[in-house]
Amino acid sequence: MRILLVGAGGVGDAFAKIAARRSFFECVVVTDFDITRAERTIAWLTERHGAAAIAGRFVADSIDASDPGSVAAVAQRHSITHVMNAVEPKFVPTIFAGAAAAGANYLDMAMSLSKSHPTSPYSLTGVTLGEEQFAVTAEWEAANRLALVGIGVEPGLSNVFARYAADHLFSHIDELGTRDGANLVVRDANGEEIFAPSFSIWTTIEECLNPPVIWEKDKGWFTTEPFSEPEVFVFPEGIGPVECVNVEHEEVLMMPRWLDAQRVTFKYGLGNEFIGILKTLHQLGLDSVTPVKVRTADGPAMVAPRDVVAACLPDPASIGPRMTGKTCAGMWVTGTGKDGQPREVYLYHVSDNEWTMAEYEAQCVVWQTALNPVIALELLATGAWSGAGVVGPEFFDAEPFLTLMARPEAEGGYGQAWGLEDRLAN
Amino acid sequence: MRILLVGAGGVGDAFAKIAARRSFFECVVVTDFDITRAERTIAWLTERHGAAAIAGRFVADSIDASDPGSVAAVAQRHSITHVMNAVEPKFVPTIFAGAAAAGANYLDMAMSLSKSHPTSPYSLTGVTLGEEQFAVTAEWEAANRLALVGIGVEPGLSNVFARYAADHLFSHIDELGTRDGANLVVRDANGEEIFAPSFSIWTTIEECLNPPVIWEKDKGWFTTEPFSEPEVFVFPEGIGPVECVNVEHEEVLMMPRWLDAQRVTFKYGLGNEFIGILKTLHQLGLDSVTPVKVRTADGPAMVAPRDVVAACLPDPASIGPRMTGKTCAGMWVTGTGKDGQPREVYLYHVSDNEWTMAEYEAQCVVWQTALNPVIALELLATGAWSGAGVVGPEFFDAEPFLTLMARPEAEGGYGQAWGLEDRLAN
């Protein structure tokens, strides 16, 4: 297996660091529009593991993710078998096309972007997340190539949990509800708590202010107003109760294709403070990407308000050392258990920032995202997972994934325990 | 009396419209950096009152308010007796100096700006509002010229109310508390409520995020954190309860110089929503006036985040026709009445946007501000008020002001009733 990693930002860097401890592949070509970022990642790996372990297994190259021709050329130059997309979702179409042109398999962690319904954005779907990718599944099947889409943590691990629940825990599923929450805190140099989102504010605004999508068996996909159906979800391992709201996310567009449920939802534990901030930005028009005319010392400039918001906040990639707390990704499932009794479970994985910083010098949210495609590639390399077409993680048997993930590192696994909470009293 | 009106923005325009109904002056020279704004005001006056009533009494000129030499030259050219400052407070020092250089009297509605204490901004005052102006009172006295500072509505009418309470209602004052609140609502073309502050967001941010100042007889002036001492104040004439917080304002720096009280405060009825928005802007650094680097289609630009916030909101001068509701300015006084019994009163004036738009095509907040300097100039013209030095409205007897203000227009007054609420239940 020869992997082309597209993007050496936070998630790409963490992917390389996690992969460096594994031996299932021949080579990872670490690429970026700015090759010095790729070289920095490889320098870190060399420093940590020694030149003998890294040289030849990890090589740097530059790439233009916005150009399918560039992606295909880099893939062919390095005889790539698997293209691993680790950049912003706006580059999905070009990397996806480049991988196809190069005859390589493809993986990503976020899918092609949505477009709101032109007249009823808050009740009807327009173009949905991933729709453009699922549309060409027949071509990928015919070419006997695999596009494993949405294999980060959410989507990704959440979908694996959903498949596990369907196979092993439930005879009938009412709701597959991805629930994501954290208790992360970032402090400034004086130890004061500051507002510093752990993920790109640009993407977070996009995600949170787009109309959230819900799937119901008798209705299909439909949308709501942003921040709909707030609920307080209690997260495990000390994170505790967090206010969660519906957010547009891939899982809702993926799971109904392979799994049987009455309802599929995604709720993000933004918390009241963050929800309030996003609402205020929207109310003031500061979420807008349409440039406005602003006076500057050099005369008027046309700037997108959302870019100004991003420019005022700390770079999410830089806040790891000043952050404490845990992030939890998981799947809340309700329905009827194998025994015919009502059942409610929460399947989850928690990532602790202190641990990911100490072990990988990676912030916990990006590290948790990067973990899952490494595991998936290992399952594809060993043949535990195989297939063709454009598919999500729930297409595959969840058991080998969760087993390899939880097995201690000393025994060849990833040493990442996952949890199962039965939530109905007795 | 020959008046130089500096600034034909919202307040300057309303000043001219109110003055046009009076006959106490010989001429108002309406000036602006952009003379077309002054000409537009005079065109409106001519349209409303006829050329015979306006020609010669109102003339347009251009001025550079940032240059004392320009202010003095325009004043001398028109043989000005009174310079009326109606622009942003940052121009106070230059207009004040220009008036002095021209040998004219001076009035303003906001005073020279403050500078926070360098090390303890939230407990100690630095340079206070108006400090630079009060510092030269001896020079103005020696020249036998009057600088009547802070004669808008707040400061202005609030100070007149305070003097009235001290002279006529109380034998001992515990607190002189200016309280300002409104129930103004702005709607978009579809009738949906929108967020559109009735005053410059730039100035509002400055005012609300500066450390608020309080005066106590045994402590003198001191500052607090922004938004301190929240209280729900019930405003009259249907406005009702509004959340008010301490805000830095001139009254607190003015009243203790002439009036005897145990405590002087200013609280602004921002309401919870607006307070939340201002806190969020501050938390995200979007209130900052320090430019940040932002990507644009034409390459990186350096823009002040606060300018972007202002650019995203509707121009306050434009929202009058889409606004409904009332604004209330007033003085809440507690202490011992003339009869030796505890007393608590609220002296106030309410301005209704529908009425000010219909009568003056002026938004109620700017109209209410502009009303008071016209009345004051009339009292100075008739000799009912006279004096020298740098003084606030509370320096003068309040009775003639409030009488002239409340007297019906048909009887030579301004037809603006003011209210007195006794608030202690007996």
What share of chain B has pLDDT > 70, as a percent? 100
Answer with the residue of higher pLDDT: B196 or A265.
A265
Residue A426, pLDDT above cutoff 80? no
Average pLDDT across chain A, whole number = 95
**Residue of A197, A201, A196, A224 lying closest to A289 (CA atoms):** A201
Written as six digits, the tokens of B220 are: 């003198």
Can you tell me the mean pLDDT for B278-303?
A: 92
B391 sits in which H/E element: strand B389-391
User: Per the structure block, which two tokens stand in for B161?
Assistant: 């109310």
pLDDT at res. B235: 97
- Please report which confidence band the pLDDT of residue A247 belongs to, taking 50, 70 and 90 as the band edges: very high
> What is the pLDDT confidence band of residue A88, given thresholds at 50, 70 and 90?
confident
Chain B environment of A291 (Cβ under 8 Å): 296-297
| pLDDT tens sequence across B13-24 | 999 999 999 999
* Option in B281, B283, B311 nearest A294 (CB): B311
Crossing angle for the helix pair A271-283 and A201-209, nearest 10 degrees?
A: 80
Per-residue pLDDT at B188: 87
Q: Are B75 and B107 in contact (CB under 8 A)?
A: no
At A425 the pLDDT is 62
- Segment B259-284, tens digit of pLDDT: 999 999 999 998 888 989 999 999 99
Are B406 and B417 contacting, i.e. CB atoms less than 8 angstroms apart?
A: yes
The helix (H) or strand (E) run that includes residue B70 is helix B68-77
Distance CA A7, CA A256 (A): 30
Q: Which residues of B touch A311 (CB under 8 A)?
A: 292-294
Digit-coded pLDDT (tens) for A140-179: 999 999 999 999 999 999 999 999 999 999 999 999 999 9
Rounded to an integer, what distance in angstroms lies between the CA atom of residue B155 and that of residue B372?
A: 10
**Residue labelled with tokens 């060993």:** A382
Cα-only R_g, chain B: 21
Chain-centroid distance of CA A136 in Å reads 22
Closest partner residue to A311 among B276, B293, B307, by Cβ? B293
CATH among 3.50.50.60, 3.40.50.720, 3.30.930.10, 3.90.930.12 for B2-153+366-413:
3.40.50.720
Please indicate whether, in this complex, the C-beta atoms of A284 and B277 are within 8 angstroms of each other. Answer: yes
pLDDT digits (tens, 9 = 90+) for B119-142: 999 999 999 999 999 999 999 999
| Contact pairs from chain A to chain B, CB under 8 Å | 84
Beta-sheet strands, E only, within A113-227: 146-148, 170-182, 185-187, 193-194, 213-216, 220-223
A363 C-beta neighbours (distance < 10 Å), count: 27
Give A346-407 as a DSSP string.
EEEEEEEHHHHHHHHS--HHHHHHHHHHHHHHHHHHHTSS---EEE-GGGS-HHHHHHHHHS
**pLDDT greater than 80 at residue B383:** yes
More confidently predicted of B87 and B200: B87
Do the chains contact at B308 and A313, CB–CB below 8 Å?
no
Tell me: pLDDT of B426 over 70.
no
Q: What is the structure's pLDDT at B292?
A: 95
pLDDT at A191: 87
Are B54 and B42 spatial neighbours (Cβ–Cβ below 8 Å)?
yes
Mean pLDDT of the A8-20 span: 96
pLDDT at A334: 98
Domains of chain B, by residue range, sit at: 2-153+366-413, 157-360
Looking at beta carbons, which residues of chain B come within 8 Å of A305? 308, 312
B173 compared with B276, residue with greater pLDDT: B173
Return the pLDDT at A145: 98
- Which chain A residues are Cβ-neighbours of B280 within 8 angstroms? 276-277, 280-281
Lookup: tokens for B313:
């909101």
Across A266-292, average pLDDT:
92
Q: Edge-to-edge strand order for the sheet containing B323-324? A: B193-194, B185-187, B323-324
Q: Are B171 and B337 in contact (CB under 8 A)?
A: yes
In this predicted structure, the answer to whether residue A206 has a pLDDT above a threshold of 90 is no
**CATH, range B157-360:** 3.30.360.10
Query: How many angstroms away from the CA of B253 is the closest CA of chain A?
Result: 32
Task: Identify residue B121 by its one-letter amino acid code.
Answer: P
Q: Who wins on pLDDT, A94 or A190?
A: A94
Are residues A286 and B312, on separate chains, in Cβ contact within 8 Å?
Answer: yes
Chain A's closest residue to B301, CA to CA, is A301
B299-308: average pLDDT:
94
Amino acid, single-letter form, for residue B53 = A
CB contact at 8 A, B21 and B376: no
pLDDT single digits (tens) B43-67: 999 999 999 999 999 999 999 999 9
pLDDT at A221 over 60: yes
Comparing alpha-carbon positions, the chain B residue that sits nearest to A279 is B277
Residue A315 has pLDDT above 60, yes or no: yes
Which of A197-206, A207-216, A319-328, B255-264 is modeled with the greatest confidence?
Answer: B255-264
Which of A280, A303, A312 has the CB atom closest to B285's CB atom?
Answer: A312
Distance from CA of A5 to the nearest CA of B (A): 27
- The confidence score (pLDDT) of residue B32 equals 96
CA angle A198, A201, A202 (to 5 degrees): 140
DSSP classification of residue B290: S
Question: What's the whole-number mean pLDDT along residues B249-253?
Answer: 97
Residue B412, Cβ density class (10 Å: 0-12 exposed, 13-18 middle, ≥19 buried): exposed
Cβ contact A30:A58 at 8 Å: yes
Domain A2-152+366-406: CATH superfamily is NAD(P)-binding Rossmann-like Domain (3.40.50.720)
Q: Check A286 against B309: CB less than 8 A apart.
A: yes
Query: Can you say whether residue B79 is alpha, beta or left, with left for phi > 0 and alpha for psi between -120 and 50 degrees?
Result: left
CA of residue B381 relative to chain centroid, distance: 21
Above pLDDT 90, what percent of chain A?
Answer: 88
Predicted pLDDT at B251? 98
Interface test with A, best of B186, B195, B280 (most A CBs within 10 A): B280
Chain B: nearest CA to A283, how far in angstroms? Answer: 7
- Distance, CA of A135 to CA of A139 (rounded, Å): 9
For residue B425, the model assigns a pLDDT of: 62
**What's the CATH code, domain A157-365?**
3.30.360.10
Q: What is the dihedral of CA B250, B252, B258, B263, to 10 degrees?
A: 170
Task: For residue B312, give the nearest of A277, A284, A296 by CB distance.
Answer: A284
